[in-house]
Amino acid sequence: MASTIRRPRSADIECEPLWEKVIAENFFGDVEMFRVTAEAFLENTAEYLGGIGGAISKGSVAELIFAAHKLKGALQNFGPSTALNVVSEIEVAARRGQMLRAQRFDGEFTNIFNAFVTQLSAAKEAFEQ
Amino acid sequence: MKVLIADDDPACRKLLTSALKKMGHEVQVCVDGREALYALTSPFAPRIAIVDWMMPEYSGLDVCRKVREHVSPIECFIMIVTQKDMAEDIVLGLKSGANDFLTKPFYQAELEARVSNGCKLIEAHQQLKVFAGLLPICAWCKMIRNDRGEWEKLEQFIEDNSHARFTHGGCPTCTEAALSAYKLGIENIKK
């Protein structure tokens, strides 16, 4: 249900994730490791979103499970909880064959994902300096 | 040691590649299950593999099953990467031939420990293989030819290739023979 999702508030989007913590925990404290991984992620954002959107337009449950699961795995490296919650909901809906429900989450997810991409991009640039 | 990474997600590939190189491993990267299967069954296949569960072409489970048709778990240490942590999924993975599991996101200490366990198993197996093949030994002096083509004492060869160490004593037959020779020598001197 949509009510089970922690809705993004502007405060969430501004303050999460805490990059130093993410780098320490998920990138072994290595800024360069974070930077190259973020770069690879950012280069593939269209593919990540397109995978989910394409599967929903085709009505393909199998493709949607695959695309949502993949994106969830990629996002887990960076730990944005709001985006992870929503993409998890899409995956769960797909696994239950609830394509309409997944479609409803997709619109919301695109905005959250794009906000996260902006944050990640800024963080990557900040750590390059 | 050379480690194979199979993951269709570019960000995860980059992360694992960087982490493993930082640990001092050589890395071979595959972008799907089919490529991983080909690499793991080739003559110079990496002995450690980190394979994503969900991949196009063949899943991580498919790769494990197919690799195990040719290569045993002590010859190639396969870890499956999953976001799933349900006990039944782990059982399914292990039954398909995986040696171990990794979950996302990766934690340095866990990744290091699991890869290190794999390396230890492979190295132990390689050590055992030294004693499993044909060893050229001199029929007269019992010197043995090592893998560098040099002849060395049998005991030295075994010490170099195992954890065994020799203490020197005498068996009853040789002790008796040595004593007899000694007594004969004394008698000859007396004469």
Q: What is the pLDDT of residue A12?
A: 44
Q: Which residues contact B9 (CB under 8 A, 6 or more apart)?
A: A44, A70, A73, A74, B52
pLDDT value, residue A5: 41
Least reliable range by pLDDT among A65-69, A73-77, A107-111: A107-111
Tell me how far apart the alpha carbons of residues A110 and A86 are, in angstroms, rounded to a whole number. Answer: 10
- Chain A residues with CB under 8 Å of B89 CB are none
Contact B46, B28 (CB under 8 A): yes
- In this predicted model, which residue has the larger pLDDT, A106 or B175? B175
SS3 call for B145: strand
pLDDT of residue A17: 64
CA–CA separation, A40 and B40 (whole Å):
25
Cα–Cα distance measured from residue B145 to residue B70, given in angstroms and rounded to the nearest whole number:
31
Cβ separation B10–A40 shorter than 8 A: yes
pLDDT of residue B140: 92
Residues listed for chain A: 129
* pLDDT number for residue B86: 60
Task: Determine contact: B29 vs chain A, CB below 8 A.
Answer: no
Q: Which of A15-19, A107-111, B29-33, B95-99 has the lowest mean pLDDT?
A: A15-19
Q: Quote the pLDDT of residue B130.
A: 67
- Residue for token pair 């960087």: B18
ipTM of the complex: 0.79
Residues of B with Cβ-Cβ distance to A36 under 8 angstroms: 14, 18
Cβ within 8 Å, pair B18-A30: yes
Across the range A5-12, mean pLDDT stands at 41
Is B22 close to A66, i.e. CB distance below 8 A?
no
Long-range contacts of A85-90 (CB under 8 A, 24+ apart): A85/A5, A85/A6, A86/A5, A86/A112, A87/A52, A87/A113, A89/A4, A89/A5, A90/A52, A90/A64
Helix (H) or strand (E) holding B160: helix B154-161
DSSP state of A28: T
DSSP bridge partners of B48: B3, B77
In Å, what is the CA distance from B161 to each residue of B75, B131, B157? 18, 9, 6
Whether residues A72 and B83 touch (CB distance < 8 A) is answered with yes
pLDDT at B126: 77
Q: What is the mean pLDDT of each run of 10 residues along chain B (191 residues)?
A: 94 93 94 94 92 90 93 89 71 89 86 93 79 84 89 89 85 92 89 81
pLDDT at A2 over 50: no
Chain B nearest C-alpha distance from A36 (Å):
7
Weakest mean pLDDT among A45-59, A86-100, B52-66, B70-84: B70-84
